[in-house]
Amino acid sequence: MFWAVVEAIEYVLYGKVGFFIVFFIFCTLFFAVKYYYYKQYRQPEGTYSEPVSIVVAVYKEKPWLFEMCLQTVKQRKSDELIVVFDGVNSELEQIARKYTDRLYILPHAGKRSALSHGIASASKEIVITIDSDTFFKEDCISNLIKPFSDKRIGAVSANQRIFDPEKSLIRTFANLFEIAAHEFNQLGESARGHIGCLFGRCVAFRKDILLPYLDYYKNETFLGIKCAGSDDRLLTDIVIKEHKTVLRRDALCYTDCPDTWKSYIAQQRRWQNGSQRSTISRFSWLLKGSKVTAISFLLHIILPFWAIAVWLNWIYVAWTGEYSWIMLPLETHIIIGTLGAFITWSQRSYYIFGKATLCQVLAWLFWMGVVQVVISSYSFIEIFTKRRLAAQWRTK
């Protein structure tokens, strides 16, 4: 804000266009667009209540958390529960057999293989894919499937949180991310009928939309390497081509997150990597479904590099003592200086909707404003170096 005020004064007094003020204006406009759509959100209603197929793909899960998942999944006795094991795990198999006889034990081949097998084996019209570390609030599934009485809707996302967010700063950060995603960003996207990425912990799909794409889903490649991560983004892209994707706010579920900073940073890298790769490889799909969503994902790639350019300008100003960097043409200022939009709207949304102390929010702002931009930029470069694309689970 300091730089924005200084440069605004300089513009009024001397007519000089500062580097950061353009960036700040763009950020504010970008946030305003998101806020406009957020205010348009109305919960998608409906009367759909038919039995559904619930698919849980399992790899190496904490036994107590897996059991809690299955306990809460069986809210409605009429639903079909399918558990697919990606490799042998005797302890988890014993737990699963207490809740269903629809067990499939596959050779270890990754989450996509397990999930696609479960979807293909489902007998109901609606399939709910659930992560094995996720559990549900009462009536979550009943509320989640209601919008399917509208044939235009192809997928519905649950409202997701991290359980025990007060246990550590990592869990607080992870929960703030979920709050901002599901109580701000995705509400606005849902109002347009096009959520760009349905987080895979708990999503309901129309099975007939996914079936023709299951082979592609299992065997997707990028630069000749088989993809494992960002499987939820691919399923979203499949649906968004011709159908609506929405969020049901009262379908609340809780999930786990990494326990160490190293694991958490690695998770953020994987998410950024997968999102950027998906945008590049399937941008035409996004344009067909929603031009606003396509542009938003494109900005997600561009803005971190733009933010770095702004920081370099700050260093230049601090080193030279010049408050206006006018060495480059105005057009260059506008193109490069805008990159901080990502920071501005993210900071505001986390502050507005985050259930955290002021110190935690300030720490989060630093994280989003510095670390996330660096991670995002690095991840984009990384996807072209053919690293971290091996067929592993990479979901936590």
Residues of the domain holding 247: 53-288
Q: Does 389 map to a domain?
A: no
208 and 245 assigned to the same domain = yes
pLDDT at 394 over 50: no
222 and 309 assigned to the same domain = no
338 and 353 assigned to the same domain = yes
What are the residues whose beta carbons fall under 8 Å from the beta carbon of 261, sequence distance 6 or more? 170
Query: Which pLDDT value is given to residue 156?
Result: 96
Pick from 242, 257, 288: which residue ends a domain?
288
Range ranked top by mean pLDDT from 40-54, 260-274, 280-294: 40-54
Number of domains in the chain: 2
104 and 157 assigned to the same domain = yes
Alpha-carbon gap, residue 181 to 236, rounded angstroms: 15
Q: Are 347 and 363 in contact (CB under 8 A)?
A: no
Task: Provide the whole-model pTM.
Answer: 0.81
274 and 343 assigned to the same domain = no
12 and 89 assigned to the same domain = no
Note the pLDDT tens digit of each residue in 91-149.
899 999 999 999 999 998 888 899 999 999 999 999 999 999 999 888 899 999 999 99
11 and 159 assigned to the same domain = no
Q: Does 248 map to a domain?
A: yes
Q: Does 46 map to a domain?
A: no
Q: For residue 111, what are the CA distances in angstroms to 82, 209, 229, 289, 374?
A: 14, 19, 9, 26, 28
- Mean pLDDT over 243-248 rounds to 94
pLDDT at 5 over 60: no
Higher-scoring residue by pLDDT: 224, 90: 90
Strand partners, 58: 85
Query: Which pLDDT value is given to residue 389?
Result: 45
Q: What is the CATH number of the domain that holds 120?
A: 3.90.550.10
Query: Which pLDDT value is given to residue 213?
Result: 93
100 and 153 assigned to the same domain = yes
Q: How many CB atoms lie within 10 A of CB 205?
A: 27
Note the pLDDT tens digit of each residue in 28-76.
777 788 888 888 899 999 999 999 999 999 998 899 999 999 988 887 7
Query: Which pLDDT value is given to residue 181?
Result: 82
Q: Does 47 map to a domain?
A: no
According to the 3-state scheme, what is the secondary structure of the chain? Answer: CHHHHHHHHHHHHHCCCCHHHHHHHHHHHHHHHHHHHHHCCCCCCCCCCCCCEEEEEECCCCHHHHHHHHHHHCCCCCCEEEEEEECCCHHHHHHHCCCCCCEEEECCCCHHHHHHHHHHHCCCCEEEEEECCEEECCCHHHHHHHHHHCCCEEEEEEEEEECCCCCCHHHHHHHHHHHHHHHHHHHHHHHHCECCCCCCCEEEEEHHHHHHHHHHHHHCEECCEECCCCHHHHHHHHHHCCCEEEEEEEEEEEECCCCCHHHHHHHHHHHHHHHHHHHHHCHHHHHHHCHHHHHHHHHHHHHHHHHHHHHHHHHHHHHHCCCCCCCCCHHHHHHHHHHHHHHHHHHHHHHHHCCCCHHHHHHHHHHHHHHHHHHHHHHHHHCCCCCCCCCCCCCC
Pick from 227, 261, 288: which residue ends a domain?
288
310 and 284 assigned to the same domain = no
Query: Which pLDDT value is given to residue 322?
Result: 60
Pick from 240, 261, 288: which residue ends a domain?
288
Longest dimension (CA), the chain: 76
341 and 247 assigned to the same domain = no
- For 223, the token pair is 């630069």
Q: Does 268 map to a domain?
A: yes
- Mean pLDDT over 238-265 rounds to 91
129 and 264 assigned to the same domain = yes
Q: Does 223 map to a domain?
A: yes
The CA angle 350-354-356, to the nearest 5 degrees, is: 125
33 and 141 assigned to the same domain = no
Q: Does 395 map to a domain?
A: no
Q: Does 396 map to a domain?
A: no
